[in-house]
C-alpha cells in the first residue's frame, strides 16, 4: 500500500482510504491491482527478458484494458530498473529533475518499489508517494513531478500511454526561480 510524505509539513499519510482521499484531492489517480496473480517466478525478478515482460502484460491484460478503456490509454509496456540496469546511477540522476509530460504518467508497480515526488496544490507543495507492488498511479498531464527508486533500488512497472511520443520529459522550473 502506498505511503505519502508531505515534504513541507513532514506529514505521513497511510492507510488505503487516507491515501486515496489525499491523492483524489490532488487529482492523482490511485488504484490497486492484485499482484498475487503474477507467477511466483516473476514476483521478485528484475532482470526480465521480452518473453517475461509479455507474461506480465498477459497476466494483467484485463486490468490494463479496463484502465486503458476508462482513461484513453492506447499502448503499454513493462519497464524494469535494478542494479542489473546499465548506468542505473546516471539514469536515476536524470530522473531526479522535476518535469512535466503532455500526457498522464501511468505506472502499475509489479515488483520492488518506486517513489513519485509530485507537486501538489499551493497549500500542500511537493509530496512523495512511496509505491509498492500492486500500487497503480497516474500523475496527471502537465503536473510537475519526478521519479526515483527506494532503498532496494529495484522496480518492475507496467507503463500505459496514449502515445509513447507524448511521454517526453519537459523540464519544469518554478516561476520564482525563473524570475530570479
Ligand atoms: Fe515523468
Which residues lie at CB < 5 A from ion ligand 1?
105
Residue-wise pLDDT tens digits, 26-48:
999 999 999 999 999 999 999 99
For ligand 1, the distance from its centroid to the CA atom of residue 142, given in whole angstroms, is 10
Residues of the chain where predicted confidence (pLDDT) is lower than 50: 178-180
Residue-wise pLDDT tens digits, 67-93:
999 999 999 999 999 999 999 999 999
Write down the pTM of the prediction: 0.93
What CATH number is associated with residue 39? 2.60.120.10
Q: Is 105 annotated as a binding residue?
A: yes
Could you tell me if 170 and 99 are in contact, meaning their C-beta atoms sit under 8 angstroms apart? yes
Beta strand residue intervals within 33-169, DSSP E: 75-81, 99-100, 105-119, 126-132, 135-139, 145-148, 155-161
Please give the residue range of the domain that contains residue 127. 3-179
For ligand 1, the distance from its centroid to the CA atom of residue 144, given in whole angstroms, is 8
In the chain, the number of structural domains is 1
Amino acid at each position: 500500500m502506498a505511503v505519502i510524505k508531505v515534504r513541507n509539513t513532514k506529514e505521513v499519510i497511510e492507510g488505503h482510504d487516507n491515501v486515496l482521499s489525499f491523492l483524489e484531492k490532488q487529482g492523482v489517480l490511485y488504484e490497486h491491482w492484485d499482484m498475487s496473480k503474477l507467477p511466483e517466478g516473476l514476483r521478485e525478478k528484475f532482470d526480465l527478458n521480452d518473453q517475461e515482460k509479455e507474461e506480465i502484460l498477459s497476466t494483467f491484460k484485463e486490468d490494463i484494458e479496463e484502465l486503458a478503456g476508462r482513461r484513453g490509454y492506447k499502448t503499454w509496456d513493462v519497464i524494469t530498473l535494478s542494479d542489473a540496469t546499465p548506468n542505473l546511477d546516471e539514469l536515476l540522476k536524470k530522473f531526479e529533475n522535476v518535469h512535466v509530460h503532455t500526457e498522464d504518467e501511468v505506472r502499475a508497480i509489479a515488483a520492488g518499489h518506486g517513489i513519485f515526488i509530485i507537486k501538489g496544490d499551493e497549500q500542500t507543495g511537493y509530496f512523495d508517494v512511496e509505491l509498492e507492488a500492486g500500487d497503480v498511479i497516474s500523475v496527471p498531464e502537465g503536473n510537475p513531478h519526478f521519479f526515483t527508486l527506494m532503498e532496494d533500488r529495484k522496480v518492475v512497472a507496467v507503463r500505459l500511454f496514449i502515445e509513447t511520443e507524448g511521454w517526453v520529459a519537459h523540464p519544469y522550473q518554478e516561476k520564482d526561480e525563473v524570475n530570479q
